[in-house]
Amino acid sequence: MPVRTRFLTWFTALAVLLMYAPLSDAQQAVTRGWPLNADGSLKIYNDVGTIRVIGWDRDSIAVMGTIGTGGSMFGGGDRAGVKFGIEGNGSKNLTASDLVVHVPARARVWIRSASATIDVSAYAGPLDIASVSGSVKIQGTPTEVRAESMNGTLDVTASPAYLRLKSATGAITWNGSSDDVGITTVSGRMTVNAGTVHRGRFESIDGEVRYRGSIGANGTIAVDTHSGNVLLAFTKGTNVQLDVSARGCELFGVPLGQERVAKIPHPPKGFYKTLGKPSPVSPSFTVRTYKGYVTAVVQ
């Protein structure tokens, strides 16, 4: 064989080898299933990638997706409870695993992740999600929700009877109604578009809190910030006793108390206003902020 031909042959063979060698560690397609009772429990672990959970009306779990390089799937359990997830093979280059998980709509679902994006829909059971930096999105009719992310965003459109959303720097958005809701951020902005809340607690240190919605009769809502501003929008006809402690407060276009100042020389002032028709069962809405400014409007 001429030298040139031999070289080309070797070169081509090498190129083919180099091209196809990574496939041995490439993303693997995965399809797994386990039986699970309608009220069973499911735990999902996936550090990197995406986790999409969809409720369905079968007594089983179906997992489809791809496992990232450097990872492998583990899993097991029985009809009462199943646990599965992606774990690293010891390689430092664990790449994204993308999982779509169909679960019985009323099973208990528990998810832990470092940075995976989590999306839950068409689901009607209790939900418990925690992530370091992954974003979380929930839509559907979960009966109770506990979701937290350190710096990922939380976006929830649901009306569970019990709701707890927590972040550190991630923004939180909630649309829905609830009997019992608590939302906490350190610096993340909080946006609440509530239907009716009976008991609510919204806390942030320096994140802005925006609340729009109605309050159930005899309801109690409290907003606390250190320096985050608070914006409130009440619907016309709302009956509520509004109680504000802030550096400055503007209610319905009328400034009350001192203007917002950069340096605060003395403790917050108190403002008290009754909206709508006062009655012994007027819900109470309490806002306390050490340095923040409160603005309330009726829409």
The type of residue at 138 is: I
State which amino acid sits at residue 163. Answer: L
Which of the stretches 17-25, 99-107, 125-133, 250-258 binds another protein when contact is defined by CB under 8 A? 125-133
**Residue 258 is which amino acid?**
Q
For position 151 contacting another protein by CB under 8 A, the verdict is: yes
Binding string to another protein for residues 3 to 32, with x set by CB under 8 A, is what?
A: ------------------------------
Q: Which is nearer to another protein, 139 or 199 (CB)?
A: 199
- Residues 39-57 as b/e (b if ≥16 CB within 10 A, e otherwise) read ebbbbbbbbbbbbbbbbee
Sign of the torsion formed by the C-alpha atoms of 210, 218, 148 and 42:
negative
Radius of gyration from C-alpha coordinates of the chain: 26
Map the footprint of another protein across residues 207-226, applying CB under 8 A.
220, 222, 224, 226
**Binding residue for another protein, selected from 203, 211, 229, 230, defined by CB under 8 A:** 203
CA triplet 176, 180, 186: central angle to 5 degrees?
80
Q: Among residues 236 and 277, whose Cβ is nearest to another protein?
A: 277
Q: Residue 105 or 287: which CB sits closer to another protein?
A: 287
Which of 106-116 are b and which e, b meaning 16 or more Cβ less than 10 Å from the residue's Cβ?
bbbbbbbbebb
Q: What is the C-alpha separation between 287 and 299, in angstroms, rounded?
A: 19
Residues in region 55-74 near another protein by CB under 8 A: none
Task: Identify the DSSP state of 2.
Answer: -
d(CA 221, CA 227): 19
CB of 154 to another protein, least distance (A): 13
**Which of 103, 136, 147, 186 is in the footprint of another protein by CB under 8 A?**
186
Binder among 63, 156, 181, 251 for another protein (CB under 8 A): 181
Q: Closest distance between another protein and the C-beta of residue 273, in Å?
A: 10
Determine if 182 is a binding residue for another protein (CB under 8 A): yes
Tell which residue, 229, 288, 224, has the closest CA to residue 260: 229
Nearer to another protein, 13 or 270 (CB): 270
Distance CA 242, CA 36 (A): 48
- Contact string (CB under 8 A) for another protein, positions 227-246, x = contact: x-------------x-x-x-
Q: Which window, 11-19, 52-60, 61-69, 179-187, contacts another protein (CB under 8 A)?
A: 179-187
Mention every residue, 6+ apart, whose C-beta is less than 8 A from residue 245.
268, 269, 270, 271, 287, 288, 289
Would you count residue 270 as binding another protein (CB under 8 A)? Answer: yes
Give the H/E segment covering residue 297: strand 293-298
Which residues of the shown chain bind another protein in the complex (CB under 8 A)?
Answer: 41, 45, 47, 81, 108, 110, 112, 114-115, 128, 130-133, 146, 148, 150-151, 164, 166, 168-169, 180-182, 184, 186-187, 199-201, 203, 205-206, 220, 222, 224, 226-227, 241, 243, 245, 266-268, 270-272, 274, 277-281, 284, 286, 288-291
